[in-house]
Amino acid sequence: MRPALAALALAAGAVALPALAQFPGAKPDLLPPDRAFRLSARALDPNTVEVRFDIADGYYLYRDRMSFRVEPVMAGVAVLPPGKRKHDAFFGDVDTYRGSVDVRVPLAQAAAPGEALTVYAQSQGCADVGVCYPPNAQQVKVSVPLAGARAGDFVEPPAKGLFN
Amino acid sequence: MHRRTILIGGGIAAVAAAAAGVAAYRASRTRERDAAALLALVLPDLSGREQPLAQWRGKILVVNFWATWCGPCREEMPHFVRAQAEHAATGLQFVGIAVDQVDKVRQFTDELGVNYPILIGGYGAIELSRALGNSVGALPFTIVLDRQGAVVWTHLGAVKEPQFNTLLAGLLTPA
């Protein structure tokens, strides 16, 4: 009886498991883009927002595929630090970032002390295992420091759920 | 007592196995539906003409989601061009779905001499590829449909040429 049941359970498992294994999916160890390229930001002062990407090991971002927008204050031209130059057969020389990169985004007009700003960042990157992510839009809310106060810490977007 | 534990354990295992079986069955039913959704796609080609994917039903169809901004995508395409040239007569059809701008795509496919249709997919194409197993929505993503229109293989990342050739050889051999 016991061996029979055990055999039955095993047999059922043997039938079910290969069926599951056949279900082809993404490489399970690949991170979703928001986790591979973690965005955070802070307002340095009423004229400047600083945006940070923490890039997971084995992933990289393209320097010239980043863009930034701030609301409700208009952003100026972002100051992108030099990346690591890499030759691309189609696009020529391209700069990439690994590890962590801080980008300064000047504001076209000074924001008010204490004002809440929404920072929108678009970025595009790849994983060394040989896949690339489509351009990824992220956003985070920051507060302009009050007059005389030092800049706050970097703020991450609130967690959106298990798969973000 | 011991015997009961084993019975309960066996029962739980059987229920779990049955649940897994149902999940696998549902997954396969869902994928049939998604394969149908893939074949129901109508996307513009590089001259802007709408191309229904259903026109290639009955062939062994390799649908490759790619973009010029994706290095690994560009690297695997010469292999697809070779395979297309080699097996066109036996009913192998590659179709590229570019998640990209038409001018960039035209420039790259001209340079490479791509010998199979390229359609412009936009980000909606990535959403469809997610339903077909591309859970992180990355590129390149490749789906192979058999002559009956069933998904027989999906792969995220550049395909490995020997493994892919073996798969194609198996599908192309008349049963």
Q: Convert the pLDDT of each residue in A57-69 to its tens digit.
A: 999 999 999 999 9
Tokens (6 digits) for B153: 């293989």
- A4: pLDDT strictly greater than 80: no
Which positions in chain B touch A16 (Cβ < 8 Å)?
Answer: 17-18, 20-21, 24
Please tell me which of the candidates A5, A24, A32 has its beta carbon nearest to residue B153. A24
Count of domains for chain A: 1
Residue A86: the pLDDT is 86
Q: What is the pLDDT of residue A135?
A: 92
Q: What is the ipTM of this complex?
A: 0.78
In a domain, A159, yes or no: no
Tens of pLDDT, residues B33-86? 677 889 999 999 999 999 999 999 999 999 999 999 999 999 999 999 999 999
Whether A21 is covered by a domain: the verdict is no
Using pLDDT thresholds of 50, 70 and 90, give the confidence band for residue A1: very low
Q: CA A143 to CA A117: how far, in whole Å?
A: 6
A46 and A113 in contact (C-beta within 8 Å)? yes
pLDDT of residue B10: 58
CATH of the domain at A86: 2.60.40.1250
Query: Which of B7, B17, B68 minimises the CB distance to A13?
Result: B17
- Mean pLDDT for all residues in chain A: 84
Interface list for B 82-121 with A (CB within 8 A): 99, 108, 111
Do A30 and B138 count as a contact with CB atoms less than 8 A apart?
A: yes
Considering the domain B38-172, what is its CATH architecture? 3-Layer(aba) Sandwich (3.40)
pLDDT at A25 over 60: no
Q: Could you tell me if residue A150 is inside a domain?
A: no
pLDDT bracket for residue B122 (50, 70, 90): confident
CB B159 within 8 A of CB B79: yes
More confident residue, A162 or A31: A31
Chain A within 8 Å of B13 (Cβ-Cβ)? yes
* Tokens matching residue B135: 């859970």
pLDDT in tens, A79-128: 999 999 988 878 888 999 999 999 999 999 999 999 999 999 999 999 99
Which burial class, exposed, middle or buried, applies to B174 when counting CB atoms under 10 A from its CB (0-12, 13-18, 19+)? exposed
Residue B9 has pLDDT above 70, yes or no: no
Contact A15 B21 (CB under 8 A): yes
Q: What is the pLDDT of residues B81-120, one digit of tens each?
A: 999 999 988 999 999 999 999 999 999 999 999 999 999 9
Answer yes or no: is A11 within a domain: no
Show the domain range for A57. 33-143
DSSP class of A149: P
Q: Does B167 touch chain A (CB under 8 A)?
A: no
Q: Is residue A90 part of a domain?
A: yes
For range B118-147, the mean pLDDT: 90
pTM for the predicted model, two decimal places: 0.78
Helix (DSSP H) and strand (DSSP E) numbers for chain B:
5, 7
Output the pLDDT for position B88.
87
First to last CA, chain B: 54
Whether B51 contacts chain A with CB within 8 A: no
